[in-house]
Amino acid sequence: MLFDDLKSKLSGPINPTLENNGKYRLASVLAVIYCKEQPVVVMTEKPKHMKFHAGEISFPGGKLDTNDSDLLETALRETSEEVGLGITRDQIVGQLEPVVTLNSGFLILPFVSVVDDIPALTANAEVEKIFHIPLESFLRTAARDPDPSHNIVQEMYTFEYQNQIVWGASARILKQIQNRLKF
């Protein structure tokens, strides 16, 4: 897929706020896609000792902080903290539909940034490992989640990279990206 087509298909209006009736904790993530030659998506593995989502593969991001002006600021701050990547508001091309986590009670607003290149990344204590995953081949690994208990909220999917399964909210975000790119 051509870089400009990818950017165009993932672009859209940005509204960094969510209505929340107190049922969920608000959070946001940033899907960073880079490289003009073969687009790559940045994902992280959470350490096994984390309170929420231990050992899971996810996008950089986290919960809304009282000092954050909106959920986009949350995603940018968390991405900078977790992997040392400074993405600016004007590098955000769009956002996806919010997703809910089944067990931890988060409502997550995903944002998308498509950039030419990124510097070397450095993981903080909230990140066990940083992945640079070739986007097109990764999206082609989509499968329906075989665990019926995961399909309570909505239809679930899985993706696979280096024998690791990406599932849950991260997989639902990837499925939205896949649907927009029509893979």
Q: Residue 103: its pLDDT value, please?
A: 77
**Mean pLDDT of the 173-181 span:** 96
pLDDT in tens, 93-112: 999 999 988 778 899 999 99
Of 6, 11, 9, 12, nearest in space to 37 by CA: 6
Confidence band of 82 (pLDDT split at 50, 70, 90): very high
Average pLDDT, stretch 143-169? Answer: 79
Which pLDDT score, from 0 to 100, does residue 63 have?
94
Q: Which helix or strand (DSSP H or E) is residue 145 part of?
A: none
Question: What domains, with CATH codes, occur in the chain?
Answer: 3-11+24-134 (3.90.79.10)
Give the pLDDT mean for 41-57.
Answer: 81
Q: What is the largest CA-CA distance in the chain?
A: 43
